[in-house]
Amino acid sequence: MSWRGSTTIPDRIFACLPYLLPLVDSLGFSEFLLQQFPILGILLLPILPIARVYQASGYGQILVFFALFFFVVRNEKINHFIRFNAMQAILLDIVIFLSSILLRVFGTLPSSDFAAQILANTIFLGIFACVVYSVFQSLNGRYPEIPAISEAVHIQVR
């Protein structure tokens, strides 16, 4: 869907950048999948330098999160298309955070190694699919609609 005016090429590129946040945060869930299919690591090679810098900074992760929210999503001067995508990336990151809590609970249960691996693989593949879909739609100038998440984004970004 492409409403609220047209988008320019720079707007489309800037709308894709916030999706690095959930993609980098979901790399922690990719460990089991990459052990089973090492060839998939080639897809993630361009992101690894960004991930290392992002994860090496102690409070940088939370600063990026709040900077995106306060300086991009809440800034009415920025194009709605960019703000929508930034908020959607933030909500995907919140899903990752909640999923990591769920994975810790499953990881502490006895004989749950297999269940934890399946859950981690599912989380990573789900977030990866959402990011790829959202970036593709954003580059085409369309609003990426992810069920439930996009509805929450529409409530936050008017």
The Cα diameter of the chain in Å comes to 54
Q: And the tokens for 81? A: 């298309």
Domain boundaries, the chain: 9-156
Q: Rounded to whole angstroms, how far apart are CA atoms 118 and 115?
A: 5
One-letter amino acid of 141: G
What pLDDT score does 7 carry? 83
Q: Residue 87 and residue 155: Cα distance in Å, rounded?
A: 10
Q: Give the pLDDT of residue 108.
A: 63
Residues 6+ positions from 19 with CB-CB distance below 8 Å:
85, 89, 92, 131, 134, 135, 138
Contacts of 93 (CB under 8 A, 6+ apart): 21, 22, 25, 65
Task: Answer whether 51's CB lies under 8 Å from 24's CB.
Answer: yes
CA dist list (Å): 117 to 108, 110, 111, 131: 13, 14, 12, 21
User: Is this model's pTM higher than 0.85 or not?
Assistant: yes
Q: Which residues contact 156 (CB under 8 A, 6 or more apart)?
A: 73, 87
From first to last of the 158 residues of the chain, give the pLDDT tens digit.
Answer: 445 567 899 999 999 999 999 999 999 899 889 988 988 889 888 888 888 888 887 787 888 889 999 999 999 999 999 999 999 999 999 999 998 888 787 766 665 678 788 888 999 999 999 999 999 999 999 999 999 999 999 888 87
Phi and psi at residue 105, to the nearest 5°: -65, -45
Q: What is the residue whose two structure tokens read 């984004």?
A: 153
